[in-house]
Structure 1
Amino acid sequence: MLSQLFTVGISALLATSIQAGVIQNKPRDGVIALDMQMDYSQSDLSKRQVGEHDYFIKGLNWPKIVLPIGSNKDEVLLTVDTGSWLIQVPDVATNCTKCLLPNGKLGLYDANKSTTAVKTGQTLRSTFTSTSYYYGEGVIDDIWFDPNLKIRGTLFNDVHEIGSSWPYGILGLAKPPYGDEYENIVWRIYNAGLINKPIVAFTQKNSSGNSLQLFLGGYSKSQLTEDYTWTSIENKNFVAHVDFVNINGTEVKINQTITFDTGNFYVGVSKEVHDALLASFPDDPNNRKGNGYIDYNLIKDKTITVSIYGKNYNVPLIAFIEPDCTSQHCQIIIYTVPFWNWGTGFTRFLNLALKYDEGSYIGIAGWKPSNTNEVVSF
């Protein structure tokens, strides 16, 4: 989603109480790998070390994950979001009827029935848009990544009131503001000794480029054309400076620092850049120039060059159209918006990572299709 606009933080005293619940002295040599998948059953929880499922569902083009929370392992559907840092968990108090798991069942957490829940009494309010917001209370409870793997005492927003346009929770993965590190799951897992370094990475799984995996503390070498290039982003959100995009030999200057946001799927640009990018697409007898659609067959084998922090990366041109479309009228997902925010439609064809310590660094590596995994730690 767009960057988190407002969150009331928890006091330093609370941070100390959370830290006491961390499992200490574990060897930091592990990697946690999870699929961003829509289809789900309880028996799949222990099998999510290898990705097999597409994460794009037409009209809902952002990755999601199901995680059990609390002593009762209440399952909730969370969007994986590099545009915010806090975990937002819809509670039964929301009476949300649209908060559904991929299997169609209602997915809500019940803090009142979890014997491991600790209510802080602190109000948490996160607002993204007028209809996308989360109002609730800070709660400390266990989050399960596997039947035998839980992160104890994790702080999240136990949401009592949820906006109408976003009926999902959020797994925020952006680096939190200084002093609020305990609000972020990556720091929690690192401090628990379960991963080697506080780094989160996103990697494609299969040759179609439709399946995404989330790695905590490591990555899959199979999809990398090169090692990660790391650039300091000075405690900013998950951002990168894009210099230009070259389509069909036409160079379109971007020259903007852009949020790479898994909570969105579109490519947000200015009107000038929008028009220039669309004008660079191949001529299409099936779609009027500038109408926002393109014949898949005209672009399926084409690549574009994207310059990020002065380094060029090759990306399939289909990164700019709606995922999974192979018709003569595929929607181009480049939009004129006030925020320079590029989502998973584009970034699924780059290997991205965020390093939380030493300030903060974004890691970028070229992507290649692969149906194998070679998971290693950073």
Structure 2
Amino acid sequence: MLSQLFSVGVSALLATSIQAGVIQNKPRDGVIALDMQMEYSSELMKRQVAEHDYFVTPNNWPKVVLPIGSNKDEVELVVDTGSWLLQVPDVATNCTKCLLPNGKLGLYNSNTSTTANKTGKPINFGFGANAYYHGEWVVDDVWFGPNFKIPNTLFNDATEIGSLWPYGILGLSKPTKGDENQNIVWNAYRAGLINKPIVAFTQRNSSGNSLQLFLGGHSKSQLVEDYTWTSIENKNFVAHVDFVNINGTEVKVNQTITFDTGNFPVGVSQEVYDGLLGSFPDDPNNKKGSGKIDYNLIKDKTITVSIYGKTYNVPLIAFIEPNCTGQHCDIIIHVAVWNWGTGFTRFLNLALNYDNGSYIGIAGWKPSNTNDIVAF
């Protein structure tokens, strides 16, 4: 997510108590695998980022449901490569929209969890005027199954959340130096649950709604080739996009872009916007500039994207709203900050290695409804 604003009362909090102890019920072969849901809503919501306006499909972020604390209170968390911290909605928020997929409220109760260590230290974390998490640093267990957990995890026990997102956040970007314990991948690695501090994201089928999150490993079934790793020098989850080729027309991009699962659309400059949309097929059903395209004109087309000098083939439907098969599908490219969300990145295999700096891993994607999960 963009425009991350972060303030804490202390710089190094509970360094000794956060050291996670190894537990016996480990995930299989040092890999934690989680299914992610990506809902779809045709209702578009306007959201302002920096000085630009663009549209976000309200529910279209990958999410997971995780139990927190001794009572295993379930909360729904947006999987976000644009931030690094775990934001957990507490019952004190009185959030009536913090619903689980089954329609029940998903809120954590730090007062009744016998494993919670309430520090009394405030934390204010925000992404904008109506998107913020105000709360307290708490250390508790995060469960990934009935028999294993990441113990002693530090997170924001949010007692007040903004109106824009009725979800928590599972931040997966690399933390700033000295704040490694504010990240669940590092905690899983230090607890001995995963073999390497690497997170990976995979889409299993071409519908774009079957996604998986892996800690410490990945699925070979969706890989065209092995991951190519590039140092990003402790930056956010970023990649340098050289160009996009649509229908034989090469549109120069030449920008370092945040690949952000906490956002959905594709943000570009006006020049790149004009170039990309001008390269779409002529459409008798939609006027130029309408921001819409007939699905049948692009459903079988592939674009070429050059990232760090290596080309990847991506379905052209990565640039339209998911699950639309009609004549007036929304194009998700907008004039905005350089941030490409899940709408596009769901058609790449992406990974982030936190060890010795940070490295982004990219591999070409192919659809598969099977899994061949391996550790990195």
Question: How much does 1:210 deviate?
Answer: 2.7
The SS at the match of 2:33 is strand
> Distance between the aligned counterparts of 2:73 and 2:13, measured in 1?
28
Is residue 240–residue 257 contact of structure 1 (8 Å, CA) maintained in 2?
yes
Q: Deviations over 1:192-226 (max 9, x none)?
A: 01111000000112243431100000000010000
Alignment partner, residue 351 of structure 1: 349
The 2-side partners of 1:35 and 1:217 are apart by: 15
User: Aligned to 1:186, what secondary structure does the other structure show?
Assistant: helix
TM-score (norm 1): 0.92
Contact 2:136–2:156 (Cα < 8 Å) also in 1: yes
- Greater shift after overlay, 24-33 or 362-371? 24-33
Question: Which residue is 1:364 aligned to?
Answer: 362
Task: Return the alpha-carbon distance in structure 2 between the equivalents of residues 288 and 303 of structure 1.
Answer: 23
User: Take 1:357 and 1:34, find their aligned partners in 2: how far apart are those partners?
Assistant: 22
SS at match of 1:190: helix
Asked if the contact 2:242–2:253 (Cα under 8 Å) also holds between the matched residues in 1, the reply is yes
What residue identity is the alignment partner of 2:154?
Answer: L
| Equivalent residue, structure 2, for 1:8 | 8
2:340 corresponds to which residue?
Answer: 342
Counterpart of 2:116 in structure 1 is 117
Contact 1:3 1:84 in 2 (8 A): no
1:159-214, Cα deviation, whole Å (9 max, x unpaired): 01100111100000000000000000000000001111000000112243431100
Deviates more, 1:180-189 or 1:101-110: 101-110
Change (3 A) 1:9 1:297: farther
Deviation at 1:273, TM superposition (A): 1.2
TM-fit CA distance, 1:105:
0.7
Aligned equivalent of 1:70: 69
| Corresponding pairs, count | 359
One-letter amino acid matched to 1:134: Y
Q: How does 1:158-307 map to 2 (within 5 A)?
A: 158-307=157-306
| 1:48 alignment counterpart | none
Cross-structure match for 1:79: 78
Is the Cα–Cα contact under 8 Å of residues 25 and 193 in structure 1 kept in the other structure?
no
- Is the partner of 1:227 in helix, strand or coil? coil
CA distance in 2, matches of 1:312, 1:160: 45
Deviations 1:217-236 (A, max 9, x none): 00000100000000000000
- 1:16 is paired with a residue whose SS is coil
Aligned equivalents of 1:150 and 1:7: distance in 2? Answer: 28
Query: In structure 1, what is the Cα distance between the partners aligned to 2:101 and 2:271?
Result: 39
> Could you list the per-position Cα deviations for residues 48-74 of structure 1 after superposition, in whole angstroms to 9, with x for gaps in the alignment?
xxxxxxx23224111001111011111
Counterpart residue number, 1:18 = 18
The letter of the residue matching 1:8 is V
SS of alignment partner, residue 297 of structure 2: helix
In 2, Cα distance between equivalents of 1:56 and 1:345: 12
Paired with 1:164 and 1:222, the residues of 2 have a C-alpha distance of 39
Write the distance in 1 (CA, Å) between the matches of 2:130 and 2:223. Answer: 38
Q: How does 1:83-94 map to 2 (within 5 A)?
A: 83-94=82-93
Match of 2:40 among 46, 52, 57: 57
Displacement of 1:12 in angstroms is 3.2
User: 1:229 & 1:143 partners in 2: Cα distance?
Assistant: 31
Aligned partner of 1:320 in structure 2 is: 319
User: Offset of 1:10 from its aligned partner?
Assistant: 4.4
Contact 2:25 2:148 in 1 (8 A): no
User: In the TM superposition, what is the alpha-carbon distance from 1:81 to its structure 2 partner?
Assistant: 0.3
The 1:13/1:277 distance shift into structure 2, 3 A limit, reads closer
The one-letter amino acid paired with 1:294 is: I
Determine the C-alpha separation between the residues in 2 that align with 1:308 and 1:284.
29
Shift of 1:272: 1.6
CA contact (8 A) 2:91 2:159 kept: yes
**3-state secondary structure, aligned to 1:182:** helix
Asked if the contact 2:34/2:212 (under 8 Å) is kept, the reply is yes
* TM-score, L = length of structure 2: 0.93
Identity of aligned residues (%): 78
User: Letter of the aligned partner of 1:115 in structure 2?
Assistant: T
Q: Which residue does 1:31 correspond to in 2?
A: 31
Query: Which blocks of at least 5 consecutive residues in structure 2 are unaligned?
Result: 42-56
Quote the offset at 1:8 in angstroms. 1.6
Cα drift, residue 323 of structure 1 = 0.5
1:140–1:329 distance in 2 versus 1, CA, 3 Å: same
C-alpha RMSD of the superposition: 1.5
Q: Contact 1:3–1:237 (CA<8 Å) still a contact in 2?
A: no
What is the alpha-carbon distance in structure 1 between the residues aligned to residue 9 and residue 237 of structure 2? 20
* Structure 1: gaps (5+ residues): 38-54
